[in-house]
Amino acid sequence: MEIIISILAGVLITTGIYNLLQKQFLRIVIGTVLLSHGAHLFILTMGKLKRGQPPILTDGVTDYTDPLPQALILTSIVISFGITSLLLVLAYRTARENNTDNMEELRGTENE
């Protein structure tokens, strides 16, 4: 199963990058969201899957799932959320100010 989840994470990374390479803001932002999902799945896989109970101490249970990756993912999810929110607002403002949501029209090669 770890291998399958690794592949799934790979698929998320692939689709994420493909979207990131598009022109329109919405697709690009969606790309970043997919990328972070992929990264989180990678972390999860690294702690081995389904070895024991959820990491909440219960009497009589000695076998728990690795809790550390979960803690890391939690931190990462929150941070990703923060960045995504900012990115959304930024994308919105940029699109409004520049009158386009096409990344390729935001090159600005002229020397300002």
Burial 14-36 (b: 16+ CB within 10 A, else e): ebbeebbeeebbeebbbbbbbbb
Q: How far is the CB of 26 from another protein (least distance, A)?
A: 5
Q: Applying CB under 8 A, does 50 fall inside the site for another protein?
A: yes
CB 44 within 8 A of CB 12: no
Q: According to CB under 8 A, which residues from 18 to 37 bind another protein?
A: 18-30, 32-37
Q: How many residues bind another protein (CB under 8 A)?
A: 100
Q: How far is the CB of 63 from another protein (least distance, A)?
A: 9
Q: Applying CB under 8 A, does 60 fall inside the site for another protein?
A: no
Compute the chain's Rg from CA coordinates. Answer: 19
Q: Applying CB under 8 A, does 68 fall inside the site for another protein?
A: yes
